[in-house]
Structure formats: structure tokens, C-alpha cells
Structure 1
Amino acid sequence: MYVQQFMASKVITVPPNENILNAMNIMKNKRINRLPVVSNGKLVGLVSDGDLRAASPSPVTTLSKFEMNELLSKINVIDVAVKKVITCTPDTLIEDAALLMREHKVGALPVMEGDKIVGIITHNDILDAYLDIMGVRSPGKRIVIEVRDEVGVIYKVTTIITNYGIDITNLAVYHLPNRKAQIFLRLDGERVEEAIQELNSKGFTIIE
């Protein structure tokens, strides 16, 4: 699975000299949390709602609303934006994008083709990818099987299941200590319960 499958391709950007008051209004109206800062077609920064809040006067300020707006209109987004932006490309694997976000503690990655920004992917998009991998939104029955972590065990499990004409729509493996593993499957078919009974009879532990 690749970034291009989950990224937003319609990216709203702002120029470096956009004031932060307008940037706040754009985020509010478009219901977004980040704005790439683009100058002459090139990415020069990324500003988040957190950056804008940090640059705003304290809520307990004695300034009037008019004075606050006047102050915010004089601050440019480039002054508060992150300049060293972590990016990815459309063909970056989704797990590599997740790792980049985790390692650099960022909530979004602009997606680049050369110097051109072609999309943006956020932690919510990564979560959507995970939900798709696990088949959470797909029909069928979810089961978890605890097995010995050894060569051929997935083949044994899936052979039993498919012999009943059951479609395995999603499969994931989580490795446990002591050479054990949990196999997460989503099954779609009329004979799922029969397959579960045979798995039990063959010594496989069905957790749920």
C-alpha cells in the first residue's frame, strides 16, 4: 500500500507572506489543521494550527478583539512555520510514511514529486490505511488464532479455511514472545463456523 492511495491530492497552500489571521480563517473554513507554505511553486514551510496558536496572544490578554486581529494580521506564516519539512513521495510505502511521522514526531507529510507538492498525508490517513488492512469496514467474521510461530503455519491455517470455500478478505500476523504468534483473519463465506470447528479440532487456539 502506497501513500498515493490515501493522501489528499487537493492541497490548500498559502504564500510565505500570508498573515496568520487569514491562515487561521482558512484552516477553520476548510476544516484542516495544516497549510503547506509555497513560494514560486516550491515548498518552503509547513504551518500547523498549533504553530498559529503559539504565535497568538494569550487568551487572558487585555487586548481587545480588534487589537488582537490587528496584531495577527501583521505576522506572516513563514515567521512561525516549520522550515525543515519532512516529506515523502507518492510511491512511499504507507508503513514507511508512518515510521517517518513517528520518528520525527509530526502529524503530516507533504507529498512531493521533485519540487512540486502533489498531496499531503496525515496521521488520520495512516489510521484509515490500518483500518483497511485489518478489514474493519469489510463484511465477514473476524477471528484471531494463536499459533506456534513456525514455518508453514499460515499455510496450514489458510488451507483449512479455503477448503470450505471461504474467502479470506484480510490477514495480519502479530508476533508474540516464546515463539508464538496471533493470526488475525476476516472471513467471508457460509461455512465459517465449520472451518472454525476444524481449526479447533486440529489443535489451533481460537481467541475470538
Structure 2
Amino acid sequence: MIVRNWMQNDPLTIPSDMLASEAKRVLIDNNLNSLLVVDNGQLRGLVTRHNMMRMGHYVTRTQNPDEVSFFINRLRVRDIMVRNPATVNADDTMEHCLDYGKKLRVAQFPVMENGVVVGIISATEIFQLAAHLCRSLEAGTLGKAPRRQTSVQASQ
């Protein structure tokens, strides 16, 4: 199993000069867990829902009007993004992707091919893979060969 077969193709990307408050809105409106930050075709970073919510929580907790104003009107994605995030290649195995994620303790990777972002793989796709494997395992262990009906079962 390779990453290309499980990744989300053509992920939504944002520029690094976008306001953080706008990026938060994009995350929420599109029900995403992360956004890739791309400038001039180059991957620059990653913004996660968790980081955005934590930032917003911090700002509202301070209850300082200047902090709130700064967050809404001046803070840019480049100020809070994870710079140069770890990536995987589209032709990497899912096993490599899972091991790498566990090692780095990250839940999503931009997927690259020839230096260009072609997708993203996250916990959502990993759960889809796990469900697929569970169904395959059940089918393989529960139904090796269909049971033949006896004449009594067939007439009932």
C-alpha cells in the first residue's frame, strides 16, 4: 500500500501572508484539520486547527483588546505556521508513513512528488486505511469459503 492511494488529492492551500483569523475561518468553514502554506508553488509550512484554536483561546483568555485586535487584524499565517514541515513522498509505503508519524508525533503530512505538493495524508486517511484493513481481515478470517447449504436448509 502506497501513500498515493490513500492521500487526499489537491489539498486546499493558503499563502503565508494570509491573516491568521482568515485561515482559522477557512479551517472551520471547510471542516479541515490542517492547511498547507504554499507560496509561489513552494511548500512553506503547515497550519493546524489545534494550533489556531490554541492561539485563539490564548487571545480571548487575556481579554486584552490590543491582543484581540492584533490577532484579528495583523497576525499572519507565517507568524504561527509550522515551518518546513516533515513530508512524505507519494510513492512511500503506508508503513513508512505510519512509522514516521509515530516517530515525529505528527498527525498529518504534506505529500510531495518531484518537489511539488500533490496531497496531504492525515489521521482521517489513516482511519480509513485501518477500517479497510479490519474489513479485509474479517473477510479473510470469517469467510474462507462459503458454507454449502444442505437440502434441509435450502428448503426452509
Segments of 4+ in structure 1 off by > 6 A?
none
The residue that corresponds to 1:19 in the other structure is 19
Given that residues 16 and 77 in structure 1 are in contact (C-alpha distance below 8 angstroms), is that contact kept between their aligned partners in structure 2?
A: yes
| Greater helix fraction, Structure 1 or Structure 2 | 2
Tell me how far 1:50 sits from its aligned partner: 1.9
Tell me how far 1:124 sits from its aligned partner: 1.9
Question: Which one has the largest radius of gyration?
Answer: 1
Tell me how far 1:70 sits from its aligned partner: 5.2
The residue that corresponds to 1:48 in the other structure is 48
| Greater strand fraction, Structure 1 or Structure 2 | 1
Structure 2 unaligned residues grouped into runs of 5+: 149-156
Separation (CA, whole Å) in 2 of partners of 1:43 and 1:186: 45
Tell me how far 1:52 sits from its aligned partner: 1.7
Q: What is the Cα-based RMSD across aligned positions, in Å?
A: 2.5
The residue that corresponds to 1:190 in the other structure is 146
Given that residues 88 and 109 in structure 1 are in contact (C-alpha distance below 8 angstroms), is that contact kept between their aligned partners in structure 2?
A: yes
What's the % identity of the aligned pairs? Answer: 24
Given that residues 60 and 68 in structure 2 are in contact (C-alpha distance below 8 angstroms), is that contact kept between their aligned partners in structure 1?
A: no
Tell me how far 1:83 sits from its aligned partner: 0.9
Separation (CA, whole Å) in 2 of partners of 1:189 and 1:131: 22
Given that residues 59 and 68 in structure 2 are in contact (C-alpha distance below 8 angstroms), is that contact kept between their aligned partners in structure 1?
A: no
Q: Deviations over 1:72-127 (max 9, x none)?
A: 33111111111131111111111111111110011101000122100000012112
Equivalent AA in structure 1 for residue 120 of structure 2: I
The residue that corresponds to 1:62 in the other structure is 63
Equivalent AA in structure 1 for residue 72 of structure 2: L
The residue that corresponds to 2:81 in the other structure is 81
Q: Deviations over 1:147-192 (max 9, x none)?
A: xxxxxxxxxxxxxxxxxxxxxx43xxxxxxxxxxxxxx24164318
Q: Given the superposition, is the C-alpha separation of residues 93 and 70 from structure 1 closer, same or farther in structure 2, using an over 3 Å criterion? A: same
Given that residues 101 and 108 in structure 1 are in contact (C-alpha distance below 8 angstroms), is that contact kept between their aligned partners in structure 2?
A: yes
Separation (CA, whole Å) in 1 of partners of 2:123 and 2:33: 11
Tell me how far 1:67 sits from its aligned partner: 7.2
Provide the TM-score with structure 2 as the length reference: 0.83
Relative contact order (alpha carbons < 8 A, sep ≥ 6): 1 or 2 greater? Answer: 2
Provide the TM-score with structure 1 as the length reference: 0.64
Q: Given the superposition, is the C-alpha separation of residues 67 and 80 from structure 1 closer, same or farther in structure 2, using an over 3 Å criterion? A: closer
Q: Deviations over 1:29-52 (max 9, x none)?
A: 100010111011000111111222
Separation (CA, whole Å) in 2 of partners of 1:69 and 1:34: 24
Partner of 1:35, secondary structure, is strand
